[in-house]
Amino acid sequence: LSGVFLLPPVPLYFIFIFFPQIIVDDDDSKVWSLYDAGPRSIRCPLIFLPPVSGTADVFFQQILALTGWGYRVIALQYPVYWDHLEFCDGFRKLLDHLQLDKVHLFGASLGGFLAQKFAEYTHKSPRVQSLILCNSFSDTSIFNQTWTANSFWLLPAFMLKKIVLGNFASGPLDPEMADGIDFMVDRLESLGQSELASRLTLNCQNSYVEPHKIRDIPVTIMDVFDQSALSTEAKEEMYKLYPNARRAHLKTGGNFPYLCRSAEVNLYIQIHLLQFHGTRYAAIDPSMVSAEELEVQKISLHTSNEQEEQ
């Protein structure tokens, strides 16, 4: 990849990256792979969930930058699950294994939908402190493939990859976006038939988010104004579903802004997480937050609480 993906040096004492394989289900074939980076003392980290074509390392730009600023982040690669309830149960077991009571979730496309379903699944005993939904959706019917969802497991890998590639941008692209797509194509090639089939099944299986179960969770909706796999109608539906959500719009970035517009995405992530600084749900090492910033945040929280009481 070109130099666009190079970052300034970051303090190495804040980066502790592991890539373990963890099994939390009775089925030994269901293996979670993850990068866990940043201060291990943080108990409410930011967890990244990839899209259909992605693996844990598609968020390397966020891992490098955010850990350098003192955040703890975890990028996941989920195992083969064939329905949303099964995924949510496995994800809950993974958080238990990692001894994480509550987390912030950044989900891209399918990852964003699964993040919402997990927040919905755990609403009686909340495990999700906040959501950042990047190019995501709330209803799988937008893809018009709910009737074929249960047949993906029959298709060979090359056909599944062709389905996914059909949603990638085509035509003239700037170098950063072209590099991002090349990287995602490479990641797509690394996925096996069962992994792709299960993800496409989760992506298209008839399901939707029940907003009343997660209405109290802080949400940032991140999307792009240029070409992406999401229709304008799907984006508008997300805005209606979360009327109080913060909006992080990028002029360009396509399907993978976290790769080709990483500086903007990382800034929006920091803005989202700022509201938790100085609380037990902070995803950042307190020593990396200035006293002035904490004071401003305390005033903001106090004002917000007063407004809610009125």
263-295 pLDDT, tens digit per residue, is 999 999 999 999 999 899 999 998 888 665 656
pLDDT, average across residues 61-77:
94
Q: Residue 12 above 70 pLDDT? A: no
> Is pLDDT larger for residue 167 or for residue 284?
284
For the domain made up of 18-304, the CATH class stated in words is alpha beta
**Residue holding tokens 């996941």?**
76
- Three-class SS string for 90-112? HHHHHHHHCCCCCEEEEEECHHH
Confidence of residue 11 (pLDDT cuts 50, 70, 90): very low
Q: Residue 14 above 90 pLDDT? A: no
- State the DSSP H helix or E strand holding residue 198, giving kind and residue range, or none if neither: helix 193-204
Confidence of residue 7 (pLDDT cuts 50, 70, 90): very low
Cβ(68)–Cβ(15) under 8 Å?
Answer: yes
Please write down the long-range contacts of 152-156, taking CB distance under 8 Å and 24 or more positions apart.
Answer: 152/196, 152/197, 152/198, 152/200, 152/201, 152/204, 153/82, 153/194, 153/197, 153/198, 153/201, 155/193, 155/197, 156/193
Q: Residue 109 above 90 pLDDT? A: yes
pLDDT, average across residues 31-59:
94
pLDDT at 191: 93
Helix axis angle, 84-97 relative to 110-121, nearest 10°? 80
